[in-house]
Amino acid sequence: MVKVDYVVLDLETTGLNPQTDQIIEIGAVKIGHGVLCEEFSTLINPRSAIPQEITELTGISPEMVEHKPVITEVIGDLEEFLHNGVLVGHNIFFDRGFLQPYLRGNYVWLDTVELAKILLPYETGYSLGDLARSLGMDHIYAHRALGDARTTAFLFLHLLEELKKVDFPVLTTLYRLAQNHQSGVSALITQEFSARARFFPQDKIGSRQLVLMGDTNKGLFSSSFIKEKNENYRISQPEIDRLFQPGGHLSAILDAFQYRRQQEEMAQAVSDSFNKDQHLVVEAGTGTGKSLAYLLPALLWSVKSGKKVVVSTHTINLQEQLINKDIPLAGEILGLDFHAAVIKGRSHYLCLRKWEHWLEEAGGEGQGFMMRLVLWLSQTETGDGSELSLARKELLDWQRFAAGRDTCFGAKCKFYRGNCFVSRAKKLAELSHVVIVNHSLLLANAAANDNILPDFKYLIIDEAHHLEKVAEDQFGAEIGFFDLIAIFNRVKKSGANYPAGVLDHLAHKAAPWDFLDEDIKQGLVNSMHEAAPVVGECIKYAGEFFAVLDAFLSHDSSSGGLHSRTVRILPSHRCTEKWEGILAAGDNLMVKMKELMKILLASGEKISLAESGFGLEIVESHEINLLLSTLHQLIRDLKVVIEGDEDYFVSWVEYSGENSYPLLHTAPVEVREQLHQYLFSAKSSVVLTSATLAVGGDFGFFSESIGMDLSPAPVRVMQLESPFAFEENVLLSIASDLPDPSVAPEFLFSDGVAHALIKLIAASKGRTLVLFTSHHQLKQVFEKIKGPLRQEGITVYAHGLTGSRTKVLESFKTRENSVILGANSFWEGIDVVGEALTSVIIVKLPFWPPTLPTVSARLDRYRALHINGFRRYSLPQAIIRFKQGFGRLIRSHSDFGVISVLDRRLYEKKYGETFLKSLPKVKITVDNTDELAKIIKEWMHTKGLRQ
C-alpha cells in the first residue's frame, strides 16, 4: 500500500459565506511518494437554491444535485479518505470554513496560495488558474472540485520541488520566522530545514547574509551611462525628418508603419522646445503616437547633449508601456546606446534597516508576511515591492518595511552606501539618460520633500490633465488618528515590554557604556522616563480631539456615493460655540506634542555631547531629527485644520467604513503658484501632453489651473487632431426621453437609465462600456438590468460588484456579448481594440459634485471674485472628463461604434454646444431611446458588425 503524505482537497459551494452558503461538491486527491494515487469525488445536495452565477461558473445545476446525498451523509466516507492526513488546498481556509463543522478528525491545513507566494514571489497572480497558466500546467475541469483538486495537487508537487531548491541561508531565515507563525506551511518549512540542517554549517548564517545574497550591484554603477556631452547640440529638422518621414527609420522598423503627420509635427515641436528652452503644451488626439513623438527627440537630446530628460506619467500602466515597449522600440529606431530607468517614490522600496530590525525582533507580529518577502529579497535587484503583486491587505503589511523620507537614516545608515535600494535607485537616476517617474514623485521631489531625483532641466509630463489633482494631494496633508499614534510610539512605545521607541532604544543602548559621562547617560534615561507619560497624554488628547471633531461633523456626512462621505470644514463651523470644544481639544493635543518635541530636543543635545565628547556615532540622532520635523509639520497641519486658512487651504474630514475615526485633510485651494515655482520657473523646458487638455479648442482652463499662464515667456500650445476617421466611424446618439438629472429625483433618473440601457445594450448585442459618475447609481442600475440582459444572452460585469477593474476588463474582453458598468477610473485608461467594444454609453455629464471639498472651495473663491465658477471651472473640467470617456471608443484606424449619452442637457442646454465643439467631428442623432435602439442596430449592421 502506498504511504499517503498529503490529501489535496477542493469544494464547490453555493457562495462565499460558510455561515449562509452550502457545499455542492467535494473533490479530493491523495499524494503518496510524490505521485497522485487515489481520488474522491461527490456532488452534494445543498438543500438550498444554487444561484445562477454559480451554475454558470461551475456547470453544476440544481437538477444535478437534486437526488444526491446531503453533506452529513458523505462526511464519514470523506473522513475515511482523509485519514487524519495533512490537508492541502488552494486557499484552503475557505474550504476549511465550510468543512470544519462536520469533521471529527484533527488535521493540519496547508495552503498552496501561502506557499506559492513564498516560493514563487515573482508571479503576477496567485489564483489557481493564474499559476497553472504560468507554470504550463493543464487546468482542465476548472471550477469543478475534482478538476481543481488535481491541478492543486500538481501545483503542490511543483512547490515541493521549489522548496528543495531554496538556498540553505534563505531556508534558515524562513525557518526562524516559521517558528513564530503557526501554519501548515511553517510545519513544511520546519520539516525541510530539519532534514537539511545536519549537513550545513549553521555558524555561517547571519541575518545580514540574506540581504547581501541578491545580486544587487552587477557592476551597474562602475561608470556613468552618460558619456557624450555636447552642450551646444540642437536637434535638427533633418534628424526628425529622417525618423518620421516615409522611408525613414520608423518605417524601416515598424511592420505596420503608417505615416502620421501629427506625430511628426509633435516631435518637431518637442525638439524646438528643447532647442529653444521653451515650454510646450500639446493636445494629441488618440492615435497620434505621442509616446514616440516625445521619446525620440528626448533620447536624441539626452544622449547627444548629455542633458537628462525626465518623463512623468500619472499611471503605472503608461510607465510600464514606456519602459517595456516604447523605449526599447525607440532605441531600435535610433540605433543609439542609452540607458532609461523607472524610478519610484521611496515607499515602493524595501528599507533594509527596517527589515533587519524586524528580523531581529522575530517573535513580533507579521511573521507570515515576512516569510513572503524572504526568497524575493534574496533575488531582487531593485527592492521594488511592486515586483511582488501584493494583495490589498498585504500592502498594509508592506508599509512596515517600506522606505520613507521620515524614517531614513541617510548617510548614517549602514546600508546607505551599499545595498540600500533607495540609494541604488537614486544612483540609477543620476546615471540614466531618460528617467521615468510618476507625477507624485515628480512633485514631491520638486517641492524638496523627497530628493530621490538628481538635478534635471528637461521634463515631459504625459497624462498632464492629472497634474493639478496630484499637486492638490501632494501639497496638502492627511492626518489620521492611527498615524498620530504610530508617530508617538516611535518616540516611546507606550506599555511595551521591550525597547521599541527611539528613546527606549537610546537608554537601552547607553546602559552598558561605562565610559560615558554619568550626566549624559542619566539625561538619556531621564528623557525616556519623562516621555512615557507625555506620549500617553498625546495619545489620550489625540483620541479626544478626533472624538469631538467626529461628534461635531459626522451628522453632516451622508452615506451615499463615493464622494459624499466627506465634510468640508467651513468658516461657519469655526464660528460656532461647539467649535470652541474642538479648539480646546486641538490645543491640548498640540501643547503635548510640543512637550514631546522638547524632550526629543533634550535627548538630541545629550547625543551631540556624547558624539563630540566621546567620539561616538549614534544612529538614533537621525531618528530624533526625523521625528522632530514630522511633529513640527503635523502641528502646522493641525493648526490649518483647527484655525483655518481659508485664503490658501481647504480642510475636510473623510469618513470611511474601515476607520473608526475620520481622516483629516487639508489641500491648497489652488496649486498654480506652487507648480509655477517648482516646475515652470525651475526647468528650462517642460512639455505637457495628453489627449484631453483643450476645451472647445482653447487651452486657457488647463494653462491657468497649473500656473502655466504665470510664465513670463510665451508658452507654445498646439492641438493635433486624431488621425482616425471619426466622422465616418462614430455615431453620437443623444437620448431625449430621460429626465434631466440635475432636477429629477435620483431614483427616477436611475429608473430611466436602467430602461434605456436594456434597450441600447441589446441593440449592440453587448460590447458596451457604460460610464457612470457615481458608484451608488451604478449599483442601483446593475440590480435592475442584469436579469433582463441575461435573458438576451448578455452578461453584465459591474466594477466593484462582480470583480476588480482588472478582472471585469479581462472577463469583458473574453466574453463576446458582455457589458461593463464602470465609474471613476473607467473614464480613462480602458483600451479595448476591435469589435469587443463598439458602444460607449455616458449616463450623465461628468460634472464634479459641487459638494466635493476642493470643488466647493474653488467655487467659493470664484464667487468672491465675482467670476462665474460654473463657466470658469465646473464646465471645462466636465468637458475634459467627457472627452476622456468619449476617447474609450475608437482605439485604432479600423474601430467604429456608437457613443450614447443619456443626459438631455447635452442638447438642451446652451453649454452643451461647448461639449460638442470639443469633440472630433461626428454624426449626431437625437431621439427617444426606442428609436435610438433601432438606429444603432441598423448603423451597426451597415458597419458589418455580426448580430
Residues contributing to the site for ligand SF4 (CB under 6 A): 351-353, 403, 408-410, 413, 415-416, 420, 422-423
CA distance 707 to 832: 34
Is the separation of the CB atoms in 362 and 218 below 8 Å?
Answer: no
Outline where DSSP puts E strands in 745-825: 768-772, 795-798, 818-823
Question: Is 933 known as a binding-site position?
Answer: no
Is the separation of the CB atoms in 647 and 654 below 8 Å?
Answer: no
Question: Is 800 known as a binding-site position?
Answer: no
Question: Is 289 known as a binding-site position?
Answer: yes
For ligand SF4, which is the closer residue by CB, 414 or 573? 414
Question: Is 286 known as a binding-site position?
Answer: yes
List the grid coordinates of 917. 465643439
Task: Give min distance, CB of 382 to ligand SF4, in A.
Answer: 13
Task: Give min distance, CB of 474 to ligand SF4, in A.
Answer: 20
Task: Give min distance, CB of 220 to ligand SF4, in A.
Answer: 17
Task: Give min distance, CB of 421 to ligand SF4, in A.
Answer: 7
For ligand SF4, which is the closer residue by CB, 26 or 422? 422
Question: Is 683 known as a binding-site position?
Answer: no
Active-site option among 33, 83, 139, 143: 143
For ligand SF4, which is the closer residue by CB, 351 or 734? 351
CA distance 467 to 859: 19
For ligand SF4, which is the closer residue by CB, 21 or 356? 356
Return all residues near 442 (Cβ < 8 A) that are at least 6 apart: 310, 312, 453, 459, 461
For ligand SF4, which is the closer residue by CB, 423 or 773? 423
Task: Give min distance, CB of 502 to ligand SF4, in A.
Answer: 13
For ligand SF4, which is the closer residue by CB, 369 or 409? 409
3-class DSSP state of 492: coil
CB neighbourhood size of 576 (10 A) = 11
Task: Give min distance, CB of 621 to ligand SF4, in A.
Answer: 14
Return all residues near 641 (Cβ < 8 A) that are at least 6 apart: 479, 569, 586, 651, 664, 666
Question: Is 929 known as a binding-site position?
Answer: no
Return all residues near 444 (Cβ < 8 A) that are at least 6 apart: 345, 450, 474
Question: Is 290 known as a binding-site position?
Answer: yes
Task: Give min distance, CB of 590 to ligand SF4, in A.
Answer: 29
The pairing of beta strand 6-13 with beta strand 86-89: parallel
Is the separation of the CB atoms in 182 and 383 below 8 Å?
Answer: no
CA distance 947 to 944: 9
Question: Is 68 known as a binding-site position?
Answer: no
Please give the angle made by the CA atoms of 714, 715 and 721, to the nearest 5 degrees.
140
Q: Annotate 583-632 with DSSP letters as a single string.
A: HHHHHHHHHHHHHHHHHHHHHHHHHHHHHHHH----THHHHHHHHHHHHH
Task: Give min distance, CB of 460 to ligand SF4, in A.
Answer: 28
Outline where DSSP puts E strands in 552-594: 566-569
775 in active site: no
- Give, as one character, the DSSP assignment of residue 248: S
Angle between helices 184-197 and 145-165 (to 10 degrees): 30
For ligand SF4, which is the closer residue by CB, 30 or 353? 353
CA distance 11 to 248: 60
- Give, as one character, the DSSP assignment of residue 411: G
For ligand SF4, which is the closer residue by CB, 454 or 920? 454
Active site residue ranges: 143
Binding positions for ATP are 284-291
